[in-house]
Amino acid sequence: MIRLSVNINKIATIRNARGGNMPNLVQAAKDLESYGAQGITVHPRPDERHIRYKDVEELKPIISTEFNIEGNPADAFMDLVLKTKPHQVTLVPDDPDQLTSDHGWDTIKHKDFLKRIIKEFQDAGIRTSIFVDPVIEMIEGAKETGTNRIELYTESYAANYHENRDKAIYPFVITANRAKELGLEINAGHDLNLDNLKFFAQSIPFLSEVSIGHALIADALYYGFDNTVNMYLRELK
């Protein structure tokens, strides 16, 4: 079964809007796991506009499934990851003021940089994944970096799903198959939701994990967290 990792950035955004500790991020992570989530993802950014570095340190001891930290490997981010030692680190080429992730790594141009960063994390016992667009050359470049996994950036699939889902999924099937041939494990994420998730999972059944935040948290406003997590899990079966 494809694992569901819930990105809890949006919960932190709500908390930060009023200060204090409501909603309680640590309790939310515990609850999500109890409802069936198989992982928790956070993406701290330099301005700490949602997940704070302190949150990461408080979350690590209480997570009983899998902890995935995403972000651009700047010095402060690297120090945080090496200190907390999550199960997985996902490297994302975000600019500091970027609203949300909007492109994958150029794994050819940045190969030497990624190789160095990935080795440092792997030497610390942390599984690595790198955010990539569904382009064959970027997948083959990812293999050269030594990463354990890739995370396919699925925004283009989500944007074109309702117009032509077969056309939208095609580059992801091709690149996922190539990644599998190269021995890379495959994650996916960005704009996956209850409308488009099932077809994606059926088309690439050997996915290891999907990371979903914004859509899941938004759905939970209507359906409740317990029900929503299980709705997403059913789409992955």
Domain chopping of the chain, boundaries: 3-236
Mean pLDDT of the chain, nearest integer: 95
Mean pLDDT in residue range 89-93: 96
DSSP assignments along 61-125, one per residue: GG-SS-EEEEE---HHHHHHHHHH--SEEEE----TT-SS------TTTTHHHHHHHHHHHHHTT
Distance CA 62, CA 65 (A): 9
> CB under 8 Å to 42, separation ≥6 — which residues?
7, 8, 9, 12, 51, 55, 56, 59, 67, 68, 69, 70
Does the pLDDT value for residue 95 go beyond 70? no
User: What's the pLDDT at 97?
Assistant: 61
Q: What is the pTM of this model?
A: 0.95
Calculate the CA 25 to chain-centre distance. 18
Amino acid at 160: N
* pLDDT range class, residue 103, cuts 50, 70, 90: confident
- Local structure of residue 60 (DSSP, 8 states): G
Identify which has the larger pLDDT, 115 or 96.
115
Which H or E run includes 186? Answer: strand 185-189
Helix axes 225-236, 25-34, angle to 10 degrees: 50
- Its CATH class, for the domain covering 3-236, is alpha beta
Does the pLDDT value for residue 210 go beyond 90? yes
* pLDDT range class, residue 94, cuts 50, 70, 90: confident
User: What's the pLDDT at 81?
Assistant: 98
Does the pLDDT value for residue 87 go beyond 90? yes
- Local structure of residue 206 (DSSP, 8 states): T
Residues belonging to the active site: 43, 70, 190
C-alpha angle 231/235/236, rounded to 5°? 120
Q: What is the pLDDT of residues 159-176, one digit of tens each?
A: 999 999 999 999 999 999
Distance CA 88, CA 111 (A): 20
Of the candidates 171, 106, 167, the one whose C-alpha atom is nearest the C-alpha of residue 140 is 106
Mean pLDDT in residue range 94-113: 78
Mean pLDDT in residue range 81-108: 84
User: Which value, to the nearest 10 degrees, does the dihedral of the CA atoms of residues 171, 94, 128, 213 take?
Assistant: -70
